[in-house]
Every structure is written in C-alpha cells, then in structure tokens.
Amino acid sequence: MAKRGILCLLAAAISVAFVALSGRAIRGTNDNFSFDAANLKDTSVWTKVNDEPYRMGPPVAILCGIPTRESVESERKKNPHAQSYITVYVNNAGKEAMFAKEAKTFPVGSIIVKRKIANTLESSEPLLYTLMRKREAGYNPRLGDWEFAVVAANGKDIQGIGKLENCQSCHRQKRDSDFVFRPYLKSN
C-alpha cells in the first residue's frame, strides 16, 4: 500500500513540475500552457533523474491518466497500464531538491516530468506525460502549491491541467517530502 502511494505521489509531482517549466519546453501560464516533449533532450534545461525506466504498478499507473471514454472501454478489455515504466526529468529549478539526500521543499518554478512508456523496457513510444509545476504561494496550499498536468503521447496536447484530483489524491500522502515521490532515485 505504501509503495502504491509513493508511486501515485510521484506521478502527481511530475505532472505539476512539467507545467511549471520555465524555458524552451514550456511557455506561458496555466491559461496559456504549452509543452513539447522533444525539448526533454535539452540538457541545459532538463536533467534525467533515473538512469533506467522505473516500473510502475498497475494501480498507480491507472490513476496517472485522465480517463476518457476510449480508455475506459479499453480498460474493460485489457489493462494497457499494467507493467508501465517511467523516466523522470526535472528542470534546473528543481534539480537540487530532487537529488537532495533528505526531502526538501522545491522552489517556485520547479518542474518534474514523468514520461510513461509501454510494458517493456525496450519500448520508446510514450503512453503519456505527467507533470508537476511548483507555483507561487497560495496557488494550491493544501498540496504545497503544486499544479498538475497530463500531456498526450504526442508530447504536446494537454489533456488536463490544474488541481487535478486524480493526481492530488495520491500526492496528499507525501506531505513530508513536499508531495513528491522519489522511489526511482538510487539513493532512496
């Protein structure tokens, strides 16, 4: 159960961070948000957090997407999220807090991105991206002022953004680590 909560919080944290990106990958505010996953290759802005994709359990993976009619129908037939893997990225603003030995509060402007891939490590095709962006004080005080976003597999189309309840419901459990899961770090 604790592992599930950790993974859920990770997904939500990443969602918020991605939205907060300051730089070439994300421009604008919550009302004018855009994202291009191709920019994750820019190492002057992004740091890859985990060397190898981290396996997400099915319960957490299901919670990390915005449900649509198509996804619900597909889930009835087969769970496409089972055995999902994630690669995590953090922007420069959040890098120090992400890699700190002890949990730290992420500064405003921190963005965490989770790239979710299919059920094999060899797969390079994303299923979706989730982001966390650390906003200004007062934006979302109950969850450390994090904003969450879900971006389609194409890396550009925003499927949901804001105080997304499916993200927040998991991340609430990680108040002691600024609502961010970090089980994918080698030192954790």
Report d(CA 108, CA 115) in Å as an integer. 22
Report d(CA 132, CA 16) in Å as an integer. 2
The residues pairing with 147 across neighbouring beta strands, listed in sequence order, are 133
- pTM for the full model? 0.65
The top-level CATH class assigned to 2-177 is alpha beta
All structural domains of the chain with their residue ranges: 2-177
pLDDT digits (tens, 9 = 90+) for 89-137: 999 999 999 999 999 999 999 999 999 887 656 567 888 899 999 999 9
Report d(CA 119, CA 63) in Å as an integer. 16
When mean pLDDT is compared across 7-21, 70-84, 132-146, the lowest value belongs to 7-21
Q: Which residue matches tokens 């820019």?
A: 42
Res 118: pLDDT: 77
CB atoms within 10 A of CB 127: 20
CB atoms within 10 A of CB 120: 9
